[in-house]
Structures are given as structure tokens and as C-alpha cells.
Amino acid sequence: MQTTIGNSQTLLGLADFSTQATKAGFVGAGVPSALAKPWADGDGVYRPSDDGVPCDSPVISRLCASVMVQREMVTMPIMRGIADACRRYRPFVGQRVALSHVMVPNTLPLILSLLQGGARLVVSNCFPPALSKEVLALLRTAGVSVELSYPLVAQAADFVLDCGGSLAGQHKAKGVVEVTRTGYHKYKSYADETVIVNIDDSLTKYIEDFFGTSTALIRALNYYLGSAREYLGSRTVAVVGFGKVGRGIASQLKHKARHVVVLDVSEEAVKIARRLGFEAVLISKDVFSNTTGLKSADIVISCTGHKGAIGASFDKKGIENKLLINMGAEDEFGDQYSSSEIFHSKETAINFNLNPPTENMYIDAILAAQIEGLYYLINHKLAPGLHLLPRSSDRAIVDRFCGIHQVSFSTLRDYFEGIG
């Protein structure tokens, strides 16, 4: 068991933001000599030792020299701070870590930070359809350990960083950090025997879910339909699920669609939606009554966080000939619906077809939360069960995000009563 470095409770607290761009090595396209050392002799393949990957290893040098990595790091100032702290303090030396994430370019800063922190890392892909061949080729060429078989990747680690619960049930790890609501539901059944840090209930997750995912939906509609504003302006949209994602989407659509209807199983969520000026319908056990709430909608967007929720709560005949969009991490429509009936993506959120699925300014914060969760796991003797990201880490990320991007939390306070 390690202790916190310099009594710092957060990795961001160890970062030197005044010189982080130089220290972390990502100013423009240049790579400073401290990171761009000549590659070592041999085949250059990373084979984790007990001490983890050295900071000046060929693996890190190759990643830092990659234009793809540099491009992502330049647009992620919070992760540059994390990378700086990892490189200087090496908080994960000797720790066996499995990372299962969407293997797209904006996951590269997380991979680099873990390696710079000394982790004995194996990387997997949590969503096969979104796998970037370019990223996979870069990781393998650089010598990063990549394993696409979930059982094998899970067995190679003591700590798991997961997205969507892809490694749930594969291996009993010492600790897990999960970032999604879908993954939270999957790991919850293992809480009696595993330490689980739940990022989905953090303040930081609001940044991705409320702001990032709603913006990603508009990007997806622009990509597929040409102009989201023109398409939505003459149509009524039903948003099923009024949690973090649903509220963000409703807030985006409020001034773009002709009309927005909100549906949720929670009386409190329906009450909040009505206070905010939305037409709102309480979902009951009566599927035919629920379907009436969708009658006026031209578009139905599912963001409940539950697999098969639409099929279980609504009569399919009542929502035929509508544009059906999934914004959940899994198939929220269910077996009653074919892939051709769901707009471009049935198995997961439509924005997962974009590159990046969510813009870097929002992903920056959530990647930082995930690695802070790992820092918390390693440095504290936690009992099995569900744990929140420590408030010190959570607030540090949120404050840094708001300061960098001049974002106010006032909008979130309107949509979420009692939010810190």
C-alpha cells in the first residue's frame, strides 16, 4: 500500500500548471529532449516489469513523438496536468492496471499518463464498433500491451479502469474505477467483494453527461442530417429519461426543436422538468398510457441508462414512423426493435459513431476523474462496496474545468437541485 505523495490528496494537486505544457512535453508539435530520448536497443516492445515502465522508455518516447498523441494532449489541459504529475511523481509504479475504454484518439492521454505514472498497463477496447485502427496500430507499434479479449485483460490486472462495465464479472480485481451509469449497474452486483469507485455520481460526470453528451448529439445530427437546427425546428422531440444526459439534451433542444416533451419514471424528475418549462409525463407501468405521451413526437430520444427500457415501457405500434435515437451506452430499445429501426446506432449512443464521440474539452475532465479514482484506490484501504470519487479530487477537476473554459455551474444548479 502506497501513501499519498507529499500528503496531496489529488494528482492535480501535484501538477505544476505554471509550466505544465513544457514539463508534460506538448507545446505545439515539439517534443522536448527529456521525453524524446533515443529508442533503446532491441525490439522496443513493452514487457511490464515489477517497477513498471521507465519514464524514458521507448514506449513513452514513441507515444510522445506521435502527432496523434500531441494533438490530443494539446486540447486537454487538465490531462496535461495529470500527465505532469504522473511523470514527476510516478504514483502507479508496479501496479498492474487494466484499462478498457473506447479506443479512439482522445483516450491516448489517459494511456500515456498511466504509463508515465509507472503502471504495468494492459489496454483493451470497451466498444468494438468504435475501435480506431489508427490508435490500435499506434499502441502496438509503440509497444503498449494491448489485449482485446476481456477475460485475458481482466486477469492481467489488480486494478481496473472501465467504461460501460466491459470487464464486470471477468476477474476479481482489488479495485475498479467505472465512469458510466451502465457500468455502475453492472458492477453493483459485485460490490460485496470488490472496491468500486463510481465516477458516474461525481460532479465531474455532469461535465461530460450534461454538457458533452448533449453537444455530441447535436454534432451527430449535423453530421447525418446536414443541419440539426433546420431539422429540429419543425419537429417535436420526446426525451425519455431526465437524468444527467436527458437534462443536458433537453436543455440543448429547448431552443432548437419546435417542442420538447420529457418522460421519466421519477416524480421528482417530472416536477423539475415542469418547473423548467417542459411538458413532462410520468412513466407508469401502463405501457399504453406511456405511449400516449409520445403521440405528438416526431423524434424519440432514449437516454434512460437502462438496457431495453423503451421496449419495456412503451407499445411499439404507438411509436412507429418516428425517428428513434439511442443515447444510452447500451441498446435501450430492446429486442422488439431491429437495427434498421434505430437511427444509425442501436447498440450504443449515436455519438459513438463520431470521432471523437464527445469533444475533448469534456472528455478531458472525465479522464482526469478516472485516473484520480485510481490514485484514490491505491492510496486508501477501502472496504468492498461502492465509493464516490473524493470531494477534493472532484472539486479540483470541476474548478479547473470551469476556470479554463469560463463555464458557470449556474445552469446545472437550475437543472439539478442541491448540486454542489
Quote the CA–CA distance of 169 and 397 in Å, as a whole number: 30
Model pLDDT for residues 57-83, shown as the tens digit of each residue? 899 999 999 999 999 999 999 999 999
Write down the architecture of domain 5-205+358-415 according to CATH.
3-Layer(aba) Sandwich (3.40)
For the residues of 241-296, what is the DSSP string, one character each? --SHHHHHHHHHHTTTSSEEEEEES-HHHHHHHHHTT-EEEE--S-HHHHHHTTTT
Task: Supply 417's cell numbers.
Answer: 437541485
Q: What's the pLDDT at 336? A: 95
- The DSSP-derived string for 128-170 is GGG--HHHHHHHHHHT--B---HHHHHHT-SEEEESSSTTTTT
Distance, CA of 363 to CA of 371 (rounded, Å): 12
Q: Are strands 195-198 and 236-240 parallel, antiparallel or unpaired?
A: unpaired
Is the four-CA dihedral 63, 64, 65, 71 of positive or negative sign?
positive
| pLDDT per residue as tens digits for the range 326-372 | 999 889 999 999 999 999 989 889 998 888 889 999 999 999 999 99
Burial of residue 233 (number of CB atoms within 10 Å: 0-12, 13-18, 19+): exposed
Say which CATH class 208-353 falls into. Answer: alpha beta
Residue span(s) of the chain under CATH 3.40.50.720 come to 208-353
Question: What residues have CB less than 8 Å from 154, skipping those under 6 apart?
Answer: 98, 160, 167, 170, 171, 173
Neighbours of 317 (CB within 10 A): 8
Using alpha carbons, select from 193, 202, 118 the residue that is nearest to residue 398. Answer: 202
Separation between Cα atoms, residue 273 and residue 242, nearest integer Å: 8
Residue 328 backbone class (left: φ over 0; alpha: ψ -120 to 50; beta: rest): beta
Question: Which residues, 6+ apart, have CB-to-CB distance to 18 below 8 Å?
Answer: none
pLDDT in tens, 17-46: 765 443 444 433 333 333 333 222 333 333
Range(s) within the chain of domains with CATH label 3.40.50.1480: 5-205+358-415
Residue 168 pLDDT > 70: yes
Predicted TM-score of the model (pTM)? 0.82
Q: Which three cell numbers stand for residue 137?
A: 496500430
